[in-house]
Amino acid sequence: MSSEIRRIAVNTGGGDAPGLNAVIRAVVRAAERSGWEVTGILDGYDGLFRDDGVVRLDRRAVRGITHLGGTILGTTNRGNPLRWPVKGEDGSVTYVDRSQEVLDALATLEIDALIAIGGDGSLGIAHHLFQKGLKVVGVPKTIDNDLAATVLTFGFTTAVETATEAIDKLHSTAESHERVMVVELMGRTAGWIALYAGLAGSADVILIPEIPYDRNSVCEKIEARWAEGREFAIVVVAEGAFPIGGEPLFKQTRGGEKRLGGMAELVAREIEERTGRETRELVLGHLQRGGGPNAYDRLLALRFGAAAVELVRDGSFGCMVALDPPDVLAVPLGEAIAATKRVPVDGDVVRTARALGVCMGD
Ligand code: F6P
């Protein structure tokens, strides 16, 4: 029992995901019932490095936000206090560790514990801060569903719904024009969104990073569609998919960063060149992260928020809340960030796709 808690902080880090606001609301409501004050840190940890970067969160501040997308606290996937970029006069960038400043700022604000909501990067930062003495509890977040210690992350099923709806809409235009439509979905090194949305949206081909694809198998599937009189096809490609013997594709961003992208374009070109079928590609991109959470993700987010407050109350720091149906449990942060959860290639969902005749690229 952690009796010395009077004020906790909460922040959201990394890419946003539908359900973040629901977690924040649950944290604030549950913390107030414990008699604690809640401070919201804006933009990940960035808010601690400026004067106007924290806000008081009370029940009025979190009223009516459960169903809202995004995060009322703002987020960033750049503000890593452990590797803070500093630009020199000659334009060169060096990185400094500002974690002690984070601890000092939290001490100045009289914060007794932090609830850090984030993906693998943010939870890694939280783990580091815990090792430096901060009382931290993590809440896992990512639409990619690639965190090994939890069966699901909130935001994933909403992203799958958004992607499925997009695939549904591609069917009619693909059929009208007798085209192949190739759609690229998010997921980095894990093909969860592509597999689930592809299967739910009746895609003909689903390419995921876990199964390097064979160009011939993909094209044979397209030809088979035409041969059976179904003269259109839907191909779902995870952004991190790659061909046998090849590698994932990266695009250089305007800011000079390397970001996954371009696989739909490549697959579309390969299909068009090899089969002669008119092919179009699209990248669904950040639509998958946008909008409000569905009912399932709201519920999961609320459960995670309430469970995180329970862990603070119990003094179980250095842990992350995790879904292990039917329960929400605590797992050590170190364990939670150790591994990425990838699609099991012989799991039942892949087997279901194969049973339905979906080409998985191999
Ligand atoms: O981690 C979630 C994710 O949606 C990835 O699938 C994707 O590659 C990445 O975020 C893109 O994030 P951003 O454009 O915000 O850097």
- Rounded CA-CA distance 127/219 in Å is 46
- Rounded CA-CA distance 143/67 in Å is 16
**Pairing state between β 37-41 and 54-57:** antiparallel
Q: Which residues contact 105 (CB under 8 A, 6 or more apart)?
A: 48, 49
User: Using CA positions, which residue lies closest to atom 4 of ligand 1?
Assistant: 186
Radius of gyration in angstroms for the set of CA atoms belonging to the chain, rounded to a whole number: 22
User: Using CA positions, which residue lies closest to atom 15 of ligand 1?
Assistant: 15
For the segment 200-245, what is each residue's pLDDT rounded down to a tens digit?
999 999 999 999 999 999 999 999 999 999 999 999 999 999 999 9
Structure letter (DSSP) for residue 88: -
**How much is the pTM?**
0.96
- Tell whether ligand 1 has an atom less than 6 A from the beta carbon of residue 77: yes
Q: What is the mean pLDDT of residues 70-84?
A: 92
The Å distance, Cα 296 to ligand 1 centre, comes to 22
- Rounded CA-CA distance 102/234 in Å is 48
Active site residue 46: no
pLDDT of 3 higher than 80: no
pLDDT of 2 higher than 70: no
pLDDT of 39 higher than 60: yes
The Å distance, Cα 190 to ligand 1 centre, comes to 12
Q: What is the mean pLDDT of residues 316-323?
A: 98
For the segment 127-183, what is each residue's pLDDT rounded down to a tens digit?
999 999 999 999 999 999 999 999 999 999 999 999 999 999 999 999 999 999 999
Q: Which pair of tokens denotes residue 177?
A: 């024009």
User: Using CA positions, which residue lies closest to atom 10 of ligand 1?
Assistant: 15
- Tell whether ligand 1 has an atom less than 6 A from the beta carbon of residue 141: no
Q: In 10 A of CB 49, how many CB atoms?
A: 15
The residue to which tokens 């894990």 are assigned: 190
Q: In angstroms, how far is CA 175 from the centroid of its own chain?
A: 32
The Å distance, Cα 259 to ligand 1 centre, comes to 9
